[in-house]
Amino acid sequence: MTRNHRALLLLSLAALYTGATAAGAAARPRGVGPEFAKFYKDSSTFTCISNPSITIAYSAVNDDYCDCPDGSDEPGTSACSFISNFSPSFISDPGDEKSNRTPALPGFYCKNKGHKPSYVPFQRVNDGVCDYDLCCDGSDEWAHPGGIKCENKCKEIGKEWRKKEESKQKSLNAAMKKRRDLVQAASKLKKETEDRVKDLEVEVKASKIKVRELEKEVEKVFARDRGKIVKGKKQGKVNVLAGLARDRVEELRTSLVDVRFQKEQLETRLTELEGLLSKFKDEYNPNFNDEGVKRAVRSWEDYVAKDHSDMAPPHQDLDELTKPDGPDSGINWEQWENEQDESGMSLIYKVAAYLPPSLVNYMEDKLAEFRSLLISNGILAEPDTDSNETQAVREARDRLSAAESSLSTLESSLAEHKEDLGKDFGKDSVFLALKGSCISKDSGEYNYELCWMDRTTQKSKKGRGDTVMGNFDKVSSVTIDEATASGRIVPKEKVALEYINGQKCWNGPSRSTKIILECGENDEILKVAEDEKCVYSMYVTTPAVCESSNDKKASGGRDEL
Ligand code: MAN
């Protein structure tokens, strides 16, 4: 068809279908959305929207021939559909010369009365298919190619859509309520953590003071008592002698135990032999004139007749003798070794009997200080501190180490709480409220578990143990291409959670998981994918990332639920 023929045909159709009018202020031409009406006001000429240097006759608008480089002269036909794919993101700034080969219009405008207006891609205008998903009034097929008639279905489609929208809105409202609760819980937790940090800081301070005091106490008690133990068990000739005697007695006791054992064994054998010989004497036949046998029997009778009283067991009780020394038996060496001389500290106790206790304590301390001074200056020998620590020093040390361990517990708890406060828990710290709770999904060979802000786990159903797929690292975002209702693919930014440093993959990296979040009424894992070896994606819904319509407008987002 030539340009003239097509123009003629379309002009006649235009008269029937209220296309462009010829006189006065032009009505909005077919396919023009209200936001673009201003470009089509002049009823004699038309200026291409993105190319203001090009002006054409108004009659060339919607004449099924593409005059403008931005396609703005054909808002109601598919004549300019070759310019580019339909996408509202391609709408250029009207009047911008540089964008002259991008379409100026988002598509063919369907009024869709009874439903909501929408743009249909120019390629689909008069293509012989009713595009009810975008153009429920059927106006995209206004030329009825091949005799097609797309009846207006906006009433029913609109009704159905509103029903769905209503339930979506309900769900979104419920999700938003949950999110508000989460945000409230998170802020409470944050406040509690802040309060706890303040308390812990005070507790740590106090605990440090206590530790310092106890360190001083240990030093003091040690200094006081090292004077007392100068005369400890390893000092002096008597104690050395006592030590030697103790070793010697121990040696003799061990030999005695051995000898006693051997003796008991020999006694057993002797009894056995005597039994054999006695049986032999009773059972031998004296009628056999065997001189050897008769001699043996006589010797046995002599042996029996002999007095064996000198073989009687020793008078002392060997059991008693072989018992180890200690406070209840034998010699109490400890007592001997720790015995103080009649000098030094012991003297003061004798004097002390005549003095009031406060003075005794004072004198004791002074004497200990004096001893300590002598030791520090090398006048007295340093006591053996390893084994000679007094009970008081040991107790002071125990108190110190208990205080030190309590300080270290407090310090690590403080560090943990501070780390939590410094972490990013997403917008409004909402994920703080989810921390610690887990959700899971049965998928193929495994059950997958997501523990919020903690870890992701792959749990074998065949009893092969659990595999950590990552530990929470940070909140981030990810851009995912998504198809809209009309089939358009649009990039969409989503909140994501990064879990890293999971179990090492055989011949591969440490496992990691990206949690891609979508607004939903409930926390639910929709899908788990292993994008490459040991690199996983989890698609999860949660109210935590829901945004109200106002939020969405502010962030340029679109409906999710
Ligand atoms: C296990 C699972 C899989 C992973 C392989 C890698 O079988 O963790 O997801 O791909 O180990 O060896």
| pLDDT band per the 50, 70, 90 thresholds, residue 317 | confident
Task: With a cut of 50, say whether residue 449 has pLDDT above it.
Answer: yes
Which spans in 284-390 are helix H? Answer: 291-305, 318-322, 333-337, 345-352, 357-376
Closest ligand 1 atom to 506 CA: 12
pLDDT confidence of 2, banded at 50, 70, 90? very low
In a domain, 504, yes or no: yes
Let me know if 313 is exposed, middle or buried by CB neighbors in 10 A (0-12, 13-18, 19+). Answer: exposed
The reply to whether 457 and 521 lie within a common domain is: yes
Answer yes or no: do 475 and 547 share one domain. Answer: yes
* φ, ψ dihedrals at 443, nearest 5°: -150, 115
* Claim to verify: residue 36 and residue 136 sit in the same structural domain: yes
Query: What pLDDT is stored for residue 486 in this prediction?
Result: 60
Cβ 48 vs Cβ 70: under 8 Å: yes
* pLDDT of 416: 92
Label each residue of 9-25 as H, E or C.
HHHHHHHHCCCCCCCCC
Share of the chain above pLDDT 90, in %: 56
Tell whether 504 and 531 lie within a shared domain. yes
User: Which pLDDT score, from 0 to 100, does residue 82 have?
Assistant: 92
Question: Minimum mean pLDDT among 97-106, 156-165, 167-176, 443-452: which range?
Answer: 97-106
- Same-domain pairing of 504 and 551: yes
Question: Tokens 């340029």 sit at which residue?
Answer: 556
Specify whether 517 is located in the same domain as 537.
Answer: yes
524 CA distance to ligand 1 centroid (A)? 23
pLDDT in tens, 35-44: 999 999 999 9
φ, ψ for residue 540 (rounded to 5)?
Answer: -130, 140
Residue in the block written with tokens 């010989």: 277
- What is the total count of domains within the chain? 5
For ligand 1, atom 12, the nearest C-alpha belongs to 506
**Is residue 534 lining ligand 1, measured as CB closer than 6 Å?**
yes
Residue 284 lies in a domain: yes
pLDDT of residue 17: 42
112 pLDDT higher than 90: yes
Is residue 164 scored above 70 in pLDDT? yes
Residue 489 domain flag: yes
Is the pLDDT confidence value at 387 over 70?
no
What pLDDT sits at residue 237?
A: 62
pTM of the model: 0.57
Q: Which of 371, 399, 422 is the last residue of a domain?
A: 422
Which structural domain, as residue segments, surrounds residue 366? 345-382
Give yes or no for residue 6 having a pLDDT over 50: no
Q: Calculate how far, in angstroms, residue 505's C-alpha sits from the geometric centre of ligand 1.
A: 7
pLDDT at 335: 67
| Beta carbons of 233 and 384 less than 8 angstroms apart | no
Answer yes or no: is 3 within a domain. no
Atom of ligand 1 nearest to the CA of 467: 8
510 with 504: CB under 8 angstroms?
yes
Is the confidence at residue 256, as pLDDT, over 90? no
Q: What is the percent of the chain where pLDDT is above 70?
A: 80
As a whole number, mean pLDDT of residues 318-338 equals 72
- Do 105 and 197 belong together in one domain? no
Tell me, yes or no, whether 312 lies in a domain: no
Same domain? For 208 and 175 the reply is yes
User: Ligand 1 within 6 A of 533 CB?
Assistant: yes
Is 95's pLDDT higher than 50?
A: no
Question: Of 24-33, 59-68, 295-304, where does mean pLDDT reach its minimum?
Answer: 24-33
Residue 2 lies in a domain: no
Co-location of 357 and 457 in the same domain = no
> In this predicted structure, what is the pLDDT of residue 226?
72
Please indicate whether residue 354, judged by its CB atom, sits closer than 6 Å to ligand 1: no
Does 396 share its domain with 486? no
To the nearest whole number, what is the mean pLDDT of the chain? 84
Residue 552's pLDDT is what?
A: 63
84: tokens are: 């580019």
Q: Where are the beta strands (DSSP E) in 48-168?
A: 55-57, 108-110, 118-120
Range in 154-168, 314-328, 433-447, 500-514 with the lowest mean pLDDT: 314-328
Report residue 165 as tokens: 């929208």
Question: Do the Cβ atoms of 172 and 519 come closer than 8 Å?
Answer: yes
Token pair 């989890």 is at which residue?
A: 538
Q: Is 58 within the bounds of a domain?
A: yes
pLDDT at 246: 79
The verdict on 138 and 244 lying in the same domain is no
Per-residue three-class SS string for 218-271: HHHHHHHHHHHHHHCCCCCHHHHHHHHHHHHHHHHHHHHHHHHHHHHHHHHHHH
Query: What is the per-residue pLDDT for 94?
Result: 47
Does residue 161 lie in a domain region? Answer: no
CATH, residue 440? 2.70.130.10
Given a cut of 90, is residue 277 above it in pLDDT?
A: no
Cβ–ligand 1 contact at 84 (below 6 Å): no
